[in-house]
Amino acid sequence: MFLRSLPFATAFLLLAGPLFAQGASIGFGNSDHDSSLPVEITADQLDVNQTDGRAKFTGNVVVGQGEMRLTGEVVDVEYGDAGTGTTEIKRLHATGGVTLVNGSEAAEGQEAVYTIESGEVVMTGDVLLTQGDNAMAGEKLTVNLQTGTGVMEGRVRVVFQPQEQQGAAQ
């Protein structure tokens, strides 16, 4: 019996071994994300400081851009250069039970920083990524929405669900 499971164990270690190192590369969402799309934000409250070009959304905050959704209790928004009158958003910093959803994937963490121009989202604090029935957890997830790629870092833990065999149940 041990010899039968040896090829499976060897294959698993060769394929999944790198995932248990300090970082693991993953796919996230699709590579069709367009960071030039409008950003829509809803919240219970908004505080604006025009002097430093920032706005603070508080309470049930939902940020949407295309298919991507970012939620949290507080989202600080940093606009273009203060004093220029531009309303272009440069960066979003979400805190408090943050969730990022893009397509069929979702990630949860304590906080996230989304840099609009680069399409990069960095999530930290007990991050959990779910992709279908599979799950990955770590301390930091960096996602590039434009390429649909990501890296999980910090004692990465992965749960893979086996795929059902084709034609097994007929």
- What's the average model confidence in pLDDT over 100-105? 86
Arithmetic mean of pLDDT over the chain: 79
pLDDT category of residue 20 using cuts at 50, 70 and 90? very low
DSSP state of 163: P
Distances 94 to 38, 60, 69, 141 between C-alpha atoms, Å:
18, 11, 12, 14
Whether residue 1 is predicted with pLDDT greater than 50 in this model: the reply is no
Task: Dump pLDDT digits (tens) for 35-51.
Answer: 788 889 999 999 998 78
Do the Cβ atoms of 117 and 35 come closer than 8 Å?
Answer: yes
37 backbone φψ class: left, alpha, beta (φ>0; ψ -120 to 50): beta
Answer whether residue 95 shows pLDDT above 90.
Answer: yes
- Is the confidence at residue 102, as pLDDT, over 90? no
Q: State percent of the chain over pLDDT 90.
A: 45
In angstroms, how far is CA 60 from the centroid of its own chain? Answer: 18
Instruction: Delineate the domains of the chain, giving CATH numbers in brackets.
Output: 22-159 (2.60.450.10)
Q: CA–CA separation, 152 vs 96, rounded Å?
A: 20
pTM value?
A: 0.75
* pLDDT tens-digit series, residues 128-170: 999 888 899 999 999 988 888 889 999 999 888 777 644 555 5
